[in-house]
Each structure stands twice: as structure tokens, then as C-alpha cells.
Amino acid sequence: MPDPAGFADTIAAVATAVAPGEGSVAIVRISGPEAEPIGHQLFVAPGSQSWDSHRVLYGHVVDPASGERLDEALLLLMRAPRSFTREDVVELHCHGGLVAVQRVLELVLAAGARRALPGEFSQRAFLNGRLDLTRAEAISEMITARSRRAAQLAMAGLDGGLQLRIGALRERLLDQLAELEARVDFEEDLPPLDGAAVTAELEAVRLELEQLVAEARQGELLRRGLRVAIVGRPNVGKSSLLNLLSLRERAIVTDLPGTTRDLLESELVLDGVPLTLLDTAGIRPTSDRVEQLGIERSRQALAAADAVLLLFDLEAGWSLEDQALRELVPEGVVLLVAGNKADGAGLPVGLVPPGDGEPADVRFSALTGAGRDELVAELLRRCGAGCLEGVQVALNARQRDLAAAAALSLGAALEAAAQQLPWDFWTIDLRAAVRALGEITGEAVSEAVLDRVFSRFCIGK
């Protein structure tokens, strides 16, 4: 871990959510050598309250120039190194509301602090050795988690689960590297190397990395959520399904074909997985200009979705038009064909066993809600959400790319071993793998990478 970086300047930002701009409490956070002096300048604490670390003071934020009281507030002083950034930190807990808290922040800036960049508090925490990079990234993931499971995974990262797992793999590689490098330099003085044991160990680590890369997709699913487009001919009940799943009258439903003209999005969480559900205009040939534009959007949504729910009307039966729509779904996009209006057609709801020639994978009724649970379960299963429960830690995209690169380097090292090349050929690839894993945990990471990682954070964190 690096030594405390000793930043000369003091940064400040609103640490609580600023949109939609209402909340009972808003926090202005100040970190750096000037944090406490700025607090003294702007905060008036009545009586004999003493400025002790980790104590809360009651008082007012006062503009020193005019004497105007800006807000009634609490001040929390956390002296270095017992703070998030390991610097002196002052937090002003003000009343919520956009305007008041911005005025307090302006005052803090006028008193000598600089506006913090996104993620700059966390970056300082990292550079001062307060957290490793995986924990810092987990903070950002906790903040942006859209579902209970995503928050649980972020918490596992915060607890150091990922750091431990990657750190342990890196250690194992370092052990092998040490053995090999010793042979490069002192071949004659050492007992002969057990090449089979080395390659077995490298292969074991490579497999674990590949497992982590595979699980990253699940983590990504939980973090980012799935985009699911409901597509079908007009009047098959797409908007009715959106409403059923969103538990509210999100979309207009009528018995007129061509009711929905535009894309409608609904954010929801199904079985712990966040989804963006898209209701689309029913696709059919039409001369109506507005409808044509809507249909164009439906086609785009269909092409850009992670999964397509293709709906058809069981009362009307599967048609050539439905077949044509099915053929529009691109390769690689998860597809679930769902027959709606099972109530009207007098058909049983639920999963249709595969291989019996039915076009529907699942039958349901958006009107009564029958078959809804089976539809949701099957959709999530096809999206790979079924194995989510087993995922303990999840790499984000940056970490996944590095783990994949490490696995690739190990593959190359094993290749060199198989060809019985000299030790130094192996060590080049092995060292590359160690470096990639070090970039995940932050042991070996460049400033440019750090800037990129932390700039994705929100301001005030």
C-alpha cells in the first residue's frame, strides 16, 4: 500500500444526493489540511462545545463577511488519520434542499477549498492507503446498485472479498515466479525444478481466473440491469404485460391495434435482478407516418436489447407475421416467445415443454396475471440469471478485462512450458499475468488508470 500521499490542497463537495434536490439532510464534506480551519471560519457553535475529533457540534453556518446565518447545522470533525480519506475531514450536516446546501458549499469554496472532482475523496482514500482499489470500486458499485443482490455483491467487495480472492491468486503466481527466476539466475546451485508441479499450479490459477471472468457476466447483469424489449404485432398485449410487471398503469392499453406509438421504458426489479423493460409499438405494415416512426424505434429496440420478449396472441394463433418478427431477432440476443391471452384461448398457462412443435415457450395472460411467474422465471433463466445466487464476488468490466488478460498470459506461459522452452520464456508471460492482477487490486497501477477509475464515481464520494 502506498504511503500517505500528503495532498496540499483541501477539497469539498456535496456528499449527499443532489437530485431531485429534496431530502431532509444534506452533507458538505471537506477534506484536507484546511478542513478544520475552514470549519472554524464558517461554523459558530454556541456555548462551550469543544472541537474534539469524532464529536458532533451543534450550531450555525455563518457567512463571515456579512454575518448572515445560512443554515442551522451539525458539524462533524474527523481528524487524520481516522477518517475516510485519512486526512482531516469536516462534514457539515445541513438541511436538505438544493439551494441552501449549494450556498454552504460556495462559502466553503470561498474560504479556500477546491471543488472535488468525481471520486476524488475515494481516490485520496486509496492513495493514502485507506482502501485497496477493489474496495474503492465496490463503494461506487454500492452507490449505483439497482437491486438488493447488486448491493450484496458490492458489500462483498467492500468487505475485501475480491481483494482476497485476486490477491491470493497473485501470491500463488508470485511463488511460481520466484521459483522460476531463481532457476534463471542460479540453475546450478538449486535442486532441479519440478516442471509438472509448476505447470499444474499455473493451470489451476488460470482456471480460477476463467471462472471469475465467466461470473463477471452475472455481476454485470446485476449491476447494469438487463434491457428487455417486448416486441410483437399490434394488439397482442405488450403494453398490458408492461403494466402487469410494473404493477401500475404505465402504458395506455386499448383494443385498437396501433395504440403504442413510442418506446416506453419502465425500470423494475424482478427476483432481485434490475431490468429496463421496453414497451414498443406493434410492428405491422402501415401508411400512418407516426406509427411508421414508432415501428422504426421498435426495430431498433429489438436490435439493441439484451433480451427480446416476443409476444403473440394465442386467440389469433401463431402467424407468418409472428414468424417474420422472430427472424428479426439478432443472433446472440436472448429470445423468449410468449403466447398471451391464454384465458381467451382456453389454453393452460406456464412453461411449454420444449420439442412439441409449439411456437410458444411459455403461455400466460396479461389480463389475469396467470403464468406471469413462469414467464419471469424463464426469462431470467435464459438471461443467465439462474446461477446468480452462487456468485459471491463479481468483477466489473475493468477487472474482468484484466483477469482475462492474466488468464491469456498464463495460457502463453503454459504453451512455452509445453514446448519445453527455457525458464526465461515462461517468466515473461508469468510476470505479465502478475502485473495484470496487480492492476486489479491497485498494487501496480498507473496514474492514468486511477484517474479513469475514479472519474466514474459520483461527485462527493
Binding positions for K(+) are: 235, 254, 256, 259
**Least spacing, CB of residue 280 vs ligand GTP, in Å:** 8
163 binds ligand GTP (CB under 6 A): no
* 365: contact with ligand GTP by CB under 6 A: yes
Nearer to ligand GTP, 122 or 298 (CB): 298
Pairing assessment for the beta strands 307-313 and 334-340 based on DSSP bridges: parallel
DSSP letters spanning 292-325: HHHHHHHHHHHHH-SEEEEEEETTT---HHHHHH
340 binds Mg ion, rule: CB under 5 A: no
Query: What is the sign of the dihedral through the CA atoms of 373, 377, 379 and 380?
Result: positive
* CB distance 193 to 179 below 8 Å: yes
Among 59, 157, 234, 274, binds ligand GTP (CB under 6 A): 234
Q: Residue 344 binds which one of Mg ion, ligand GTP, none, with CB within 5 to 8 A depending on kind?
A: ligand GTP
Of residues 185-244, those binding Mg ion (CB under 5 A): 238-239
With binding defined as CB under 6 A, does residue 367 bind ligand GTP? yes
Binding residues for ligand GTP, total number by CB under 6 A: 24
Is 244 within 8 Å of 232 (Cβ atoms)?
Answer: no
How many whole angstroms separate alpha carbon 130 and alpha carbon 382?
A: 41
SS3 breakdown of the chain: % helix, strand, coil, rounded to 5?
Answer: 45, 15, 35
Per-residue mark of binding to ligand GTP, 186-225 (x: CB under 6 A): ----------------------------------------
260 binds Mg ion (CB under 5 A): yes
Rg (C-alpha) for the chain, rounded Å, is: 29
Dump strand ranges (E) for 116-260: 226-232
Least Å distance, CB 78 to ligand GTP, is 55
The string of DSSP codes covering 412-441 is HHHHHHHTT--HHHHHHHHHHHHHHHHHHH
Cα 11 from Cα 35, distance rounded (Å): 8
Query: Would you give the binding string for ligand GTP spanning residues 275-294, x where CB under 6 A is met?
Result: ------xx------------
Instruction: For residue 38, state whether it binds ligand GTP (rule: CB under 6 A).
Output: no
Residue 367 interacts, among ligand GTP, Mg ion, none and using kind-specific CB cut-offs from 5 to 8 Å, with ligand GTP
Shortest distance in whole angstroms from residue 300 CB to Mg ion: 17
With CB under 6 A as the contact rule, the residue among 257, 317, 348, 422 that binds ligand GTP is: 257
Q: Are the beta carbons of 370 and 343 closer than 8 angstroms?
A: yes
**Residues near 345 by Cβ (< 8 Å), separated by ≥ 6?**
314, 315, 339
Residue 16 near ligand GTP by CB under 6 A: no
Q: Please choose, out of 15-23, 201-209, 259-267, 298-306, the segment that lies near Mg ion by the rule CB under 5 A.
A: 259-267
Closest CA to 230 of 282, 178, 163: 282
Q: Decide: is 41 part of the binding site for ligand GTP (CB under 6 A).
A: no
Of 260 and 365, which has the nearer Cβ to Mg ion?
260
Q: Which residues are annotated binding-site positions? A: 29, 91, 130, 235-240, 254-260, 279-282, 340-343, 461
Q: Which stretch binds Mg ion (CB under 5 A): 149-157, 256-264, 354-362, 418-426?
A: 256-264
The least distance separating ligand GTP from the CB of residue 317, rounded to whole angstroms, comes to 14
Is residue 108 within the footprint of ligand GTP (CB under 6 A)? no
Closest distance between Mg ion and the C-beta of residue 255, in Å?
A: 11
Contact residue for ligand GTP among 260, 266, 396, 409 (CB under 6 A): 260
Per partner kind, with CB cut-offs from 5 to 8 A, the member of ligand GTP, Mg ion, none near residue 460 is: none
* Residue 359 preceded by cis peptide, ω within 30: no
- Does 366 contact ligand GTP by CB under 6 A? yes
Q: Residue 241 belongs to what H/E stretch?
A: helix 238-246
Distance CA 416, CA 309 (A): 47
Reduced to 3 states, what is the DSSP secondary structure of residue 444? coil
First and final CA of the chain: distance in angstroms?
A: 21
- Judged by beta carbon, residue 259 or residue 286, the one nearer Mg ion is 259
- Bridge partners of 65? none
Residue with the three cell numbers 495460457:
411
Q: Which residues of this protein are in contact with Mg ion, per CB under 5 A?
A: 238-239, 259-260
Q: Which residues of this protein are in contact with ligand GTP, per CB under 6 A?
A: 232, 234-240, 253-255, 257-260, 281-282, 340-341, 343-344, 365-367
